[in-house]
Structure 1
């Protein structure tokens, strides 16, 4: 019995493809978002074919985490995988995926890339096996890969992203075809199908336009099951199973390899993440890890609140008042910070002021007990920063120290607290230079507003850097002597963290830089 996975197998071409596979007696897994729609589809397929071996796999291709969970569920069944049909897709829509990628391209291509990549070993173990990419003739339109569009929200011309996503599936087809002689990989154009992908497709059958989903699945079934395709791989077929010449971009092996490597970076591939355990003993002015006085469930609730309520809803009124105030007082540092927050949308200042959940983190018992060991009892939180490190975008990558000589004055100690609200790894968090190597890093430039220094780090020193690795709910302390930077996020997962700047009450916080407020928050009993 052949074992098959069909993404989007609950409706349209995917449903008819699943029916065709079930008629052959295959074990078919329908991978889609909706459990209720999958249940109806399974009942329909079983009634049409009499095949009892039809199952559901939850899968949201827009979410890389959902893709990983889907693969884990399938692999746990300890079955072979003979046929993978990457059929699901969206034609329109606006926004970004949970990991920050453009929604159409992230769903149609990147989700399928990770799914195929994580199942590739299983496909090879089950060989001879077959992969079918449902592309489109619109993949022939682009003349270049528009990389910058993939890491932004959907533009007004969403069709361009659809075309790019289908072109990327052709490049993936060619790349995979070159990696294995035991797994055939082909792409198909199903034609203009009377499906539910858009309103136009839904209405097309009333106007006699297009073909039925049953006819639209012909080329998918042809590539997946026909003996004639047993040795054919790396090709592109039309709705009737006739070969379509691949566009020059898909025949460019260097471009195929570039997309492959970039996709691995964006998704994290199947490389292990978060397996390191590092203790920071203060030798390099870093201490930890310590744990908050919160359960994993409480951390998850706060994290969900931040993603759903805090990040999408900036305090517009407060920001506007702050901008006008800063402009009136000619506080250029404040204006610059406001610009960075609004432009990057990954850096959020002082959000504990409008979020009881974040304030709960700032006043955590375990957190305050550790800080008091370094600073004593009279503590003031003078600044907080909420950071979101998406795989699709790069946080500020410069090597720097958090000294802030133009923001603080007076005698007294300060400390920085870095709190992990998601898993922090060597591939999505930050790294620092050992104290013994810091003197080998020449100062490159100084921030005129904060006074912080930025450093040029030789390659010999970069080889000595130490990553910060934490579980959600853990934190480290570090002083202003630590040279550090955010790493490029190649984990395929969003990293959310909260950085707190705490000082003794003898330290004066100078006004004119923080974009939200000037008065520090007391953390004393």
Structure 2
């Protein structure tokens, strides 16, 4: 006998098409208040109208959700929670199969969408599910989840590799492991979690799925939704958790890897870190004037709204679009002067689509920051009236990434010559905290007894061996958007692995006096120094 679902509140991700749409129809017919969650407003509007018409249930709504953006997941949860409704059924259905790229936060696109987005959604809604119990979480997985023998952690923080099928399988295995961990954590809470394999569905997920119905292959979305609706409606499963069901509602035996408690815990902990589900609210402020080699924090004259607009422009227009003319002319110059090493580095940057360096001349937005009155005033206090900007760098630190993990000083003996002072300015364009920024060893003088681990052959920068005991004394840099610190080449520092769940963007300016010469040898820059004031 089916459980009475009248007036129960449900969320179905990807409820605008395929299995998700048919699941939403089935739940609406059962009398549920259904929220479909997807990216496209136009598709969602059509889906809502269709579900209402077919089911005769007017309690069908749409809330925007892009699972490839952790910020979008948080916004979705905020919108839902603001409705002050219970949540009885969460169907994690949405997924992609063969798309390539990275998520907004820099994770592999298939895994980040199919698994990590759903992890964060589920995690943020757990308390709501507990308070609404009896409640159910349904994971739409796949029989391909049974194939992986391990989790290739290194591939999850990179752009999609050629073998997208492996990543799809891993994303579905991770949903099974999430089920294993949630089953353990939700014991005695009256919240159950069960995954389903809907079968080879005649959907639009790939061209082959779309053609399958014409070839007499696969199962219709209506039939594929049977297993999901079975888990949602069957009174037999009221207290059953951790079972994997196929399209015929028969239990599928889970392989050992999918029920590995240690692996499930490891995935859970990594997911918490990578999605920023730690206490990352930083209220403290640090006066860096108390430390040698660093000062601040200071605040730009630009207000938070201006900084926000500049940040949006950087992500949308500056980072993904190379300054083509400048790059081409610089490459020709390298070849003409037989600077083959610099030419090679430039080609590598073009191939990797990394154009973070030297954006002060080709970008009016960056130049606007460089000309900020309060910034210039602080620089002139240290360097004098004339300021030479010889290098500028945009640093984007994605979750689970660590930009420069080695302890180092920003000293460039192969790039600079002459007598004079230099200073480095680190400007926060998004929030910088101890979970995503950089840290330094306080009061570490140049005569500190540190051994050199490796030397950068292009800049001459030394990277140091630092003991764990010394590293324990490190101090994090904590800044709000629009704040900055200045530091000298005495400062020993490194970036931290980003566990904030958000992308961190900062701008570093290298400024010196006119008496210091910028050397051409081994210099990967493609722009000349410029006078700031």
Range into which the TM-score falls when normalised by the shorter chain = over 0.9
**Equivalent in the alignment of 1:139:** 145
Contact 1:347 1:388 in 2 (8 A): no
Shift of 1:103: 1.2
Contact (CA 8 Å) 2:10, 2:89: kept in 1 or not?
yes
Q: Deviations for 1:417-466, whole angstroms, at most 9, x for unmatched residues?
A: 01111111111111111116887661323434433332222222222211
Q: Deviations over 1:233-276 (max 9, x none)?
A: 11110001110011222022222122222222221125334443
In the aligned structure 2, how far is the partner of 1:65 from the partner of 1:255? 27
1:85 Cα deviation after fit: 0.5
SS in 2 for 1:98: coil
Aligned to 1:304: 312
Distance in 1 between residues matched to 2:487 and 2:464, nearest whole Å: 18
1:212 matched to 2:220? The reply is yes
CA deviation after TM superposition for structure 1 residue 144, in Å: 2.3
Alignment of 1:40-79 (within 5 A): 40-79=46-85
Provide, for residues 185-221 of structure 1, a one-character-per-residue CA deviation record: whole Å limited to 9, x for no partner: 1100011222222222223333332222221111111
> What's the offset of the Cα at 1:122?
1.9
Map of 1:74-113 to 2, 5 A cutoff?
A: 74-113=80-119
Question: What is the total number of aligned residue pairs between the two structures?
Answer: 524
Root-mean-square deviation over aligned CA pairs: 2.3
Shift of 1:136: 0.8
Q: Which moved more, 1:426-435 or 1:27-36?
A: 27-36
Q: Which whole-Å CA distance do the structure 1 matches of 2:484 and 2:363 have between them?
A: 20
Q: Please state whether the residue corresponding to 1:301 is helix, strand or coil.
A: helix
Q: Does 1:36 align with 2:42?
A: yes
1:160 aligns with 2:166: yes
1:84 Cα deviation from its structure 2 partner: 0.8
Moved more, 6-15 or 389-398: 389-398
Aligned to 1:451: 460
Selected match of 2:431 from 411, 423, 437:
423
Which residue is 1:119 aligned to?
Answer: 125
Separation in structure 2 between the aligned mates of residue 443 and residue 229 of structure 1, nearest angstrom = 62
8 A contact 1:426–1:468 mirrored in 2: yes
The Cα shift of 1:99 comes to 1.1
Query: Among 230, 242, 245, which residue is 2:250 paired with?
Result: 242
Aligned position for 1:367: 375
> 2:326 touches 2:526 (CA, 8 Å); kept in 1?
no
1:230 matches 2:241: no
* Partners of 1:132 and 1:188 within 8 A in 2: yes
State the partner residue of 2:185. Answer: 179
Please tell me whether the aligned partners of residues 431 and 465 of structure 1 are also in contact (alpha carbons under 8 angstroms).
yes
Q: Which moved more, 1:369-378 or 1:144-153?
A: 144-153
Deviation digits for residues 463-517 of structure 1 (CA, Å, limit 9, x no counterpart): 2211111122221111111111110011111111110000111222222233234
Distance in 1 between residues matched to 2:391 and 2:39, nearest whole Å: 41
Listed as ranges, the matches of 1:314-393 within 5 Å are 314-315=322-323, 318-319=326-327, 322=330, 325-326=333-334, 334=342, 338=346, 341=349, 348-393=356-401
Alignment counterpart, residue 499 of structure 1, candidates 473, 496, 508: 508
Structure-2 separation of matches of 1:515 and 1:285: 26
Aligned counterpart, 2:19 = 13
Most deviating of 451-460 and 253-262: 451-460
Q: Which moved more, 1:102-111 or 1:289-298?
A: 289-298
* SS of equivalent to 1:308: helix
Q: CA deviation at 1:149?
A: 2.2
When normalised by structure 2's length, the TM-score is 0.92
User: How far apart are 1:21 and its partner, in Å?
Assistant: 1.4
TM-score scaled by structure 1?
A: 0.93
> 1:333 & 1:418 partners in 2: Cα distance?
28
Matched, 1:189 2:188: no
Equivalent residue, structure 2, for 1:470: 479
Q: CA deviation at 1:340?
A: 7.1
Instruction: Give the 3 Å change call, closer, same or farther, for CA 437–248 of structure 1 in structure 2.
Output: farther
Runs of 5+ in structure 1 lacking a partner?
A: none
- 1:139-174 residue CA offsets vs partner (Å, 9 max, x unmatched): 122222222222222233322221121111111111
CA shift for structure 1 position 324: 6.1
Determine if contact 1:281/1:288 at 8 Å carries over to the other structure: yes
Deviation at 1:390, TM superposition (A): 1.2
CA contact (8 A) 1:346 1:389 kept: no
